[in-house]
Structure 1
Amino acid sequence: MKTIDDITNFIFLESNPKKADIIFIPGGSYAELAENAAELWKNKYAPLILPSGKYSVKRGYFPNPSSKAEKYNGTYHTEWDFLKNVLIKNAVDENSILKEEDAQFTYENAFKSREITDKLNLHINKAIICCKSFHARRCYMYYQLAYPDIEIIICPSDVQGINRDNWFTTENGVERVMGELMRCGSQLKDYIMEFTKE
């Protein structure tokens, strides 16, 4: 069905990894995102990793990890705490991990990360984003707004058993992907109008 193909191609962005200046992790409680970032760092795709996140504005606290809680079973106060711990347990040098732990939604992940990189005077030409596969489009759009002049490389991870080939076969997959589709429109319309006025 062409409509499913169109939605899939819009939501599930993915690039082959390439050398970059930094790896961004836009929050979350899934270990796979930081594990993916750790592998890319170990393979020298980028020298720095910036996990971002406090906790969901809706929840108001950091829950237990959503995956691999038996392996990453520490006490975590923020998404950043959790993601940093995953990175370190996967052999990332602590000195390569930057800190942003105030963001509570994707827009803030992007723009608060920009505040950090600007404060550190980092010159970024290319950046990798390690996110959930069905979160890829929204992450791309917000980080593109925050960093309009850089190349963004999306290296996602499949979580909850949802991927581009099967999302439309389960109720959870359909809910997640259609939710992302709605957010891409409703959350971004004001920002798009604002940026196109400039």
Structure 2
Amino acid sequence: MKINISQLHHDKLSDSQLTDLLFKNLVDDYEKGDVIFVPGSSKAVIYRLPKAIQLYNEGRANKILFSGGVIWEGTNLTEAQLLKQRAIQLGVPEEDILTEGLSLHTKENVLASLLILDRAFELNNIKRILVVTSSYHMRRTHLNLKTYLPDWIQFSICPVDDTTTKVDNWFLTSYGRERVEMEANKIINYVKQGSIMDEIIEIAEN
């Protein structure tokens, strides 16, 4: 069935519906873009960075923007700085890397990156952004981008899987289930609060 996210209640969704809310119809269209956008996380270097470098090496975009100001335990670098450092070690030229190091969560990743993108390209020149984040996190990231970036910018969805929160295994562990249920709760609440735009999605009947 097709339904607005604002009509959902996270605590009443079946496993199939949770799967559809987070994962369904979020697939790569293989278009080229102007920049690869990578929001940070505690394990972004492990999971998200390789995908971003792959897209860069394939020539799908000539710049990578790493976003994230959180400093995780065991380092004194922000998420964006860590991603940049490792990307350079893996052969990405420093001049092709942009960083945003103030944001503390997904909405701020998008908002704080607006100025970086405008300074690097001027927003009116950006036609398409390649979005790289964890599969279960992609819906919320995409909705934030669609809410806060100009409507002429298109997005190519380039999700990456971690080990425990994939479309076919999140329900097998308490950790994966907790992450998916928390993510669904965030998406629905943020839509109802007006923080991110509502959207019609297709989910299972039960």
Same fold by TM-score, threshold 0.5 exceeded? Answer: yes
Match for residue 61 of structure 2 among 34, 38, 46: 46
- 1:4-19 aligned within 5 A: 4-12=15-23, 13-19=26-32
TM-score, structure 2 as length reference = 0.79
Distance 1:37 1:138, change over 3 A: same
The residue type paired with residue 6 of structure 1 is Q
The corresponding residue for 2:5 is none
Secondary structure of the residue that 1:188 maps to in structure 2?
helix
The corresponding residue for 2:201 is none
Match for residue 33 of structure 1 among 22, 25, 48: 48
Contact 2:164 2:173 in 1 (8 A): no
Distance 1:124 1:193, change over 3 A: closer
Match for residue 182 of structure 1 among 181, 185, 206: 185
Gaps of 5+ in 2: 1-12, 199-206
CA distance in 2, matches of 1:193, 1:164: 23
The residue type paired with residue 133 of structure 2 is C
Q: Provide Cα deviations, 1:34-84, integer angstroms capped at 9, x if missing partner.
A: 1110110011010111000110xxxxx3224xxxxxxxxxx5420011111
- Equivalences, count: 179
Higher RCO (CA 8 Å, separation ≥ 6 residues) = 2
Structure 1 segments (4+ residues) deviating >6 Å? none
What is the Cα deviation at residue 17 of structure 1? 2.9
Secondary structure of the residue that 1:178 maps to in structure 2?
helix
Contact 2:191 2:197 in 1 (8 A): no
The corresponding residue for 1:143 is 145
Distance 1:165 1:16, change over 3 A: farther
- 1:24-173 aligned within 5 A: 24-30=37-43, 31=45, 32-55=47-70, 61-64=71-74, 75-120=75-120, 121-122=122-123, 123-147=125-149, 148-173=151-176
The residue type paired with residue 34 of structure 2 is D
What is the Cα deviation at residue 190 of structure 1? 2.8
CA distance in 1, matches of 2:160, 2:185: 21
